Amino acid sequence: MSKIVVFGASGQLGQCLQHVAKERNVTDVVFLPEEQADILDAAKLQAVFAQYRPAYCINCAAYTAVDRAEDDVDLARKINRDGAENLSRVCDEFETTLIHISTDFVFAGTGNQPLIETDETEPISVYGLTKLEGEQVVAEHTSRYFILRTSWLYSEFANNFVKTMLKLGRERDELRIIWDQIGTPTYAIDLAGCIFTIIERQSQQYGVYHYSNEGVTSWYDFAKAIFELSNTSVNAVPIRTAEYPTKATRPAFSVMDKTKVKTNLQLAIPHWRDSLKECMSRI
């Protein structure tokens, strides 16, 4: 397999990529240490690309603190937009294919139909806006790119909703969980598998793709499934978004249509409950 470099290797998806690389015996991949992997440092990026001459670059580096971004606009924009621009420019220079991770937060989430890649983007948070700006600069500065929008990412690695629910479920008798935000969880191991499939098949069907697990749920029902599978006895109470105010506004409906990624990559995507069972067995 061609040489691959990974930015943001210490984050949740980066750790999942490392796990899947071992499972698939992918050896020609470099998970860059933080001191080499600063996507805001154009000179360091030049040095990395000159050293490794990668055929593929996977960008998992992002500012993902959704609520904090509302007050930390400059840093969120630097990482999510400027960093993406730096990477796309150097990828174009070295003829490297860029696989860039984005989010369902680029949509307003005001509809009730599964979202396709060409639907109008209308972010309603700073995080969503800066991630959309990142998508735009990638498309502007290189032609060899895959932008993968994903949603509700979780795994056995790092901090995420599943691990938070398991922790709080052990500590509390009752949890109030939002039921009127609808979407699809994504097991980050499955997303990592999709990324390596793109590389293994040497696909040149560049562009924007949606990837999450199959199915539809709410945060409340997702939490209920976590508690059922872990035999956690806690009273889960459904509440509306308005009863749990946050700094950033979240999309109310962000179910994404995966037809394009399934068709172009001949990809089978597991249902979210099946992948949750797999994750829970590993936790």
Within 8 A by CB and 6+ apart from 112, the residues are 253
138 backbone φψ class: left, alpha, beta (φ>0; ψ -120 to 50):
alpha
For residue 131, which of 110, 157, 161, 153 has the smallest C-alpha distance?
153
Evaluate whether 213 touches 255 at the Cβ level (below 8 Å).
Answer: no
C-alpha distance from residue 112 to each of 108, 109, 215, 283 (Å):
11, 8, 14, 33
> HSE of 242 in the Cβ direction (CA atoms, 13 Å)?
0
Check 56, 63, 127, 209 and give the catalytic one.
127
* Known active-site residue 63: no
Distance of CA 172 to the CA centre of its chain: 29
Active site residues: 127
